[in-house]
Amino acid sequence: MALEDAKSEVDLAFTRNSNRGLAFENAFGGATSFLRRRYSKDLTGVDLAITGVPFDQAVTHRTGTRFGPRAIREASALQPFDPPYGWPYSPLEEMGVVDFGDVAFDYAKVADFPDTLTAHIRGILAAGAGSITLGGDHYITFPILKAYAEKFGPISLLHFDAHSDTWPDDDFSRIDHGTMFYKAIKSGIVDPTTSVQVGIRTHNDDFMGVNVIDAREVHETGPAPVVKKIKGILGNHPAYVTFDIDCLDPAFAPGTGTPVWGGLASWQAAAILRDLAGINMVGGDVVEVSPAYDTTGATAIAGAHVAHELICLYGWTRRKA
């Protein structure tokens, strides 16, 4: 059946009739939506909306993550032929998933961007869908979390990163991708006691009460103990999963703005994400993919795989029994 489908499927971003199902369009051709999902602004009956946020005006070093959503979408074209390896269900067949396109914003009115993004995500949640966001620099998680906290109350944050992003900054008008979780905790939208940061390997005097599993602990203990520790901290609280691609070592993801050596290997991240099945995930994002710094495309490929795993995690607790 797949071979027959491959002979006729093309531009499924526009032509597919259902929000469910695998895709067999040639990986090297066609219009690239994420995982060949249908582009749609209609969220009727949709379980999960994939959306892009091409914003990189909060970075402290190298720009370019505005091109991240486009690169991740293109890299995902090789993935929708089969259910993802290691998961005993097929999320694209069980859930209605669409590519909701990118948030619209005026790049020259940076101060207006946070509220614009919060409203964008608020609209998705109001329609009864969850969101997986393709960034963009990591600041974007803060406006997204505001929308989630409006619906779920204080959120438990599961944060994969080389950096804690909790450096002090009491000027809430500043748009900075290194201080937004300080602000999220200070404003009460993130509960630090039930939040976890994984892969950290940069100094900070104050982690704001967040539980930290640094990169060395991941390397020395392995994925299974890390997952057990994460689940014990998150419990059943509504959890938002944010994955900064620089959580991975630059050997695996060089295309990012602030690379730091000693990070997670791709296999470690894959094992941890897979074994997190069962957490009460309400949404997530993958951020900081800056494709211009990686001529191989490996960073965007990693970002696409992370986003696919987030779809799996989201669907696991919502699948048919």
Residue 229 CB contacts under 8 Å (≥ 6 apart), including other chains:
196, 213
Beta bridge partner(s), residue 156: 239
CA-atom Rg of the chain in angstroms: 18
- Please report the pLDDT score of residue 1 as a whole number: 55
- Please report the pLDDT score of residue 64 as a whole number: 97
What 8-state DSSP symbol labels residue 83? P
Q: Contact, 44 vs 100, CB < 8 A?
A: no
Return the percentage of the chain with pLDDT > 70, whole number: 99
- Please report the pLDDT score of residue 252 as a whole number: 98
pLDDT (tens digit per residue) in 249-286: 999 999 999 999 999 999 999 999 999 999 999 999 99
Least Cα distance to 222 among 184, 267, 282, 268 occurs for: 268
Which residue in the block uniquely carries the two structure tokens 């009727």?
A: 44
Measured in Å, how far apart are the chain's first and last C-alpha atoms? Answer: 26
Least Cα distance to 71 among 301, 309, 311 occurs for: 301
Helix (H, G, I), strand (E, B) or coil at 158: strand
Calpha distance 235→315 (Å, rounded): 18
Least Cα distance to 99 among 307, 314, 309 occurs for: 307
Question: What is the 3 state secondary structure string of 26-58?
Answer: CCCCCCCCHHHCEECCCCCCCCEEEEEECCCCC
Residue 149 neighbours by CB distance under 10 Å: 19
- Please report the pLDDT score of residue 321 as a whole number: 66
Calpha distance 62→23 (Å, rounded): 35
Q: Which two tokens stand for residue 321?
A: 């029994």
Which residue type does 185 have? I
pLDDT (tens digit per residue) in 135-167: 999 999 999 999 999 999 999 999 999 999 999
pLDDT (tens digit per residue) in 169-195: 999 999 999 999 999 999 999 999 999
What 8-state DSSP symbol labels residue 295? T
Quickly state the pLDDT bin for 238 (edges 50, 70, 90). very high
What structural domains does the chain harbor?
2-316 (3.40.800.10)
